[in-house]
């Protein structure tokens, strides 16, 4: 084999890294305490949905999740339960699928509609087709929760960023319900003791530039 021209290979590599770095969205999303922007995204029922549409809500459990990630699937029933428990208290779930349908075909709008129907989602399941909202929030994995609280001035303050609980695998073995603890504290008007949590999840499938 011919010996490769190393400086050239190196330069090509650097160039490639540069191009790829430019294509990857910056990792500066919201932190707890920031104001979250509203959105207008297409729900599985064909209607456009914004947080502003929910006149009586005190806040939202904005959940970036999808059809394809095994962790998201494992959490589906628990996301439904979260909605059932906290929507009556003023905090409904709004699920947003952040994945690009070309990169992840089973996350297409039609597949989302199917999944929502099959699981009988009691909450909105929106398609972030341009991935603009996902980038603005700074979601990186599925599932990824942003619990926001509506302020007196109508703004949405990020109160919690993280995971649902400590056991993605087995709901019956959960010991720490991180999201519920945060929501209970919010509902009770207390400070959230653990506003940031992490979990292993699937990467978001970004649209190729």
Partner 1 sequence: MQQHTYIFAAHVTYRMITRKLNLLLAALAFILISAPAFAQQVKVIKYKELEQIRNAPHDTLYVVNFWATWCKPCIKEMPYFEALTAQYKNQPVRVMLVSMDAAEDLEKRVKPFVQKRSLKSDVLLLDEVDANTWIDKLEPKWSGAIPATMVFNNKRKQYEFVEKELSQEELQSIILKYKP
Give the rounded distance of the alpha carbon of 165 from its chain centre: 15
- Minimal distance, residue 84 CB to partner 1, in Å: 24
Smallest separation (angstroms) from partner 1 to the CB of 152: 31
Please, what is the minimum distance in Å from the beta carbon of residue 167 to partner 1?
5
Residue 45 or residue 166: which is nearer to partner 1 going by CB?
A: 166
Per the CB < 8 A criterion, the answer to whether 44 and 125 are in contact is: yes
Between 51 and 82, name the residue whose CB sits nearer to partner 1: 82
Q: How far is the CB of 198 from partner 1 (least distance, A)?
A: 4
Q: Which of 10, 9, 18 is nearest to 209 (CA)?
A: 18
What's the start-to-end Cα distance of the chain, in Å?
Answer: 34
> Given the complex with partner 1, which of 24 and 209 has the nearer CB atom?
24
Evaluate whether 40 touches 50 at the Cβ level (below 8 Å): yes
99: left (phi over 0), alpha (psi -120 to 50) or beta: beta
Residue 32 or residue 87: which is nearer to partner 1 going by CB?
A: 32
92: tokens are 């409904």
Phi, psi dihedrals of residue 186, rounded to the nearest 5°: -65, -50
Q: Output 77 or 166, the one with its CB closest to partner 1.
A: 166
Whole-angstrom distance, CA of residue 109 vs CA of residue 107: 7
Please report, as ranges, the residues that interact with partner 1 according to CB under 8 A: 10, 12-14, 16-17, 20, 24, 70, 140-141, 144, 162-163, 166-167, 169, 173, 175-176, 178, 197-205
- Smallest gap, in angstroms, from Cβ of residue 151 to partner 1? 26
């Amino acid at each position: 084999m011919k010996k490769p021209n190393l400086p050239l290979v190196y330069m090509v590599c650097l160039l490639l890294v540069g191009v790829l770095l430019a294509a990857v969205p910056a990792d500066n999303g919201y932190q707890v305490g920031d104001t979250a922007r509203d959105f207008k995204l297409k729900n599985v029922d064909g209607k456009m949905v914004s947080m502003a549409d929910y006149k009586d809500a005190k806040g939202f459990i904005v959940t970036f999740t999808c059809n394809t990630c095994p962790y998201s699937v494992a959490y589906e029933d628990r996301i439904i339960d979260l909605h059932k428990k906290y929507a009556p208290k003023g905090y409904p779930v709004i699920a947003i699928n952040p994945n690009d349908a070309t990169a992840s075909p089973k996350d297409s709008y039609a597949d989302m509609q199917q999944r929502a129907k099959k699981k009988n989602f009691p909450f909105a399941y929106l398609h972030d087709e341009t991935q603009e909202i996902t980038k603005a929030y700074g979601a990186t994995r599925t599932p990824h929760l942003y619990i926001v609280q509506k302020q007196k001035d109508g703004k949405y303050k990020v109160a919690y960023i993280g995971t649902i609980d400590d056991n993605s695998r087995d709901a019956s073995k959960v010991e720490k319900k991180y999201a519920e603890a945060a929501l209970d504290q919010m509902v009770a008007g207390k400070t959230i003791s653990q506003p940031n949590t992490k979990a292993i999840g699937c990467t978001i499938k970004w649209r190729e530039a």
